[in-house]
């Protein structure tokens, strides 16, 4: 959908995945566990704290 909107408006479409990568994605991929420090970060903060940290970033 984003590509269609960009085309219609005459803009170049760029996936947000190509704009910046997050080094500590909190979900596991097959064959790759969530790093312990990432799991601890999400376990030790409430949702409001996580959103605040995201907005500060």
**Between vectors from CA 10 to CA 9 and to CA 12, what angle results, nearest 5°?**
110
Instruction: Please say whether the beta carbons of 49 and 55 come within 8 A.
Output: no
Report pLDDT for 47: 92
Q: Cα separation of 3 and 14, whole Å?
A: 8
Report pLDDT for 53: 87
For residue 22, which of 49, 45, 42 has the smallest C-alpha distance?
Answer: 42
Q: For 38-50, how does the pLDDT look when each residue is reduced to its tens digit (9 = 90+)?
A: 889 889 999 999 9
β partners of residue 32: 29
Q: For 3-40, how does the pLDDT look when each residue is reduced to its tens digit (9 = 90+)?
A: 999 999 999 998 877 776 666 666 667 777 877 888 89
């Amino acid at each position: 959908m984003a590509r269609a909107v960009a085309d219609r408006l005459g803009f170049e479409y760029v996936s947000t995945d190509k704009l910046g990568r997050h080094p500590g994605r909190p979900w596991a991929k097959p064959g790759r566990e969530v790093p312990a420090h990432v799991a601890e970060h999400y376990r030790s903060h409430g949702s409001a704290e996580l959103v605040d940290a995201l907005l500060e970033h």
